[in-house]
């Protein structure tokens, strides 16, 4: 399982650990990923996604999974999230 957020595309970053003596050694900054279940209002279905805490706050701010995916860029989404976005778009077009 890769350490990449399925909704925002946020992944590991690199930087330095700096000691008190100012010695520098490389380290990784990992995203705060959580496995959450989000519900689509339009599809009436729940989806289990591995997303960052920042993406979860953004989903809540925008008003749910459907509104978030409507504004999200396709290149940032994972394959599973892209499929959900397309299913939501089809359901909205049919309604």
Q: Where are the domains of the chain?
A: 32-94
Q: Is 2 exposed, middle or buried (0-12, 13-18, 19+ CB in 10 A)?
A: exposed
Mean pLDDT by 10 residues, the chain (95 residues): 93 98 98 97 96 97 96 94 96 91
Phi, psi of 43 (to 5 degrees): -85, -20
- Does residue 51 contact residue 5 with C-beta atoms inside 8 Å? yes
Residue 93's pLDDT is what? 94
């Amino acid at each position: 399982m890769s350490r990449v957020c399925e909704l925002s595309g946020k992944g590991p970053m690199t930087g330095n650990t700096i000691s008190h003596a100012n010695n520098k050694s490389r380290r990784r900054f990992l995203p705060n990923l959580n496995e959450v279940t989000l519900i689509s209002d339009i599809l009436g279905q729940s989806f289990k996604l591995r997303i960052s805490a920042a993406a979860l706050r953004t989903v809540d701010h925008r008003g749910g999974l459907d509104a978030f995916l409507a504004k999200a860029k396709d290149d940032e989404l994972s394959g599973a999230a892209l499929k959900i976005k397309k299913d939501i778009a089809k359901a909205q077009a049919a309604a």
